[in-house]
Amino acid sequence: MGNSAVVGANQEQHLRALEYANRVRLARARMKRMIGAGELPAADVVLSCPWQAHSMSISDLLMSQKRWGRTRCRRLLVSLGVPENKQVGTLTERQRLALAAVLTAKNHRPDTESENRRTPSQACAAADAHAGPAHVPQPPLAARERALTAA
């Protein structure tokens, strides 16, 4: 009789654990979709460390961004001295601030932000304006000297 009570309690605990794991998995998937769509910056997740990201590896978080693969993620983390498999919740304050600063700097460029609000033709016109005057070919130095002495 005591055995069946223990089995029932273990089963209940197991079901609660599965339910919690499923909630975490769904919340992480939603968060990763938001990061991939650019609605939620990864730097904000690193700084705030929400419950669904607490036990998530930092490399999973970084790779959920667009154009972030294993190599780019590894290079960034090595430069900061953070292991790839470190969990977001176990980052030290220094690591958290350094990573957020680098992510913010990489993702926030004032020039590209204003370019994104323009139409493609406006962006091309702005790029042409920044390029300066078109290069005008100059005659060779000897020809210029002859022209100056002749005049």
Say how many CA atoms lie within 13 Å of 43 toward its Cβ: 12
Per-position pLDDT tens, the chain of length 151: 556 666 677 899 999 999 999 999 999 999 999 999 999 999 999 999 999 999 999 999 999 999 999 999 999 999 999 999 999 999 999 999 999 999 999 876 554 444 444 443 344 344 444 444 444 455 566 665 666 666 5
Nearest to 31, CA basis, from 55, 50, 57: 50
| DSSP letter (8 states) at residue 109 | -
- Secondary structure percentages of the chain, helix, strand, coil, to 5: 75, 0, 25
> What CATH number is given for 2-110 in this structure?
1.10.8.50
Q: Domain residues of the chain, as ranges? A: 2-110
pTM here?
Answer: 0.65
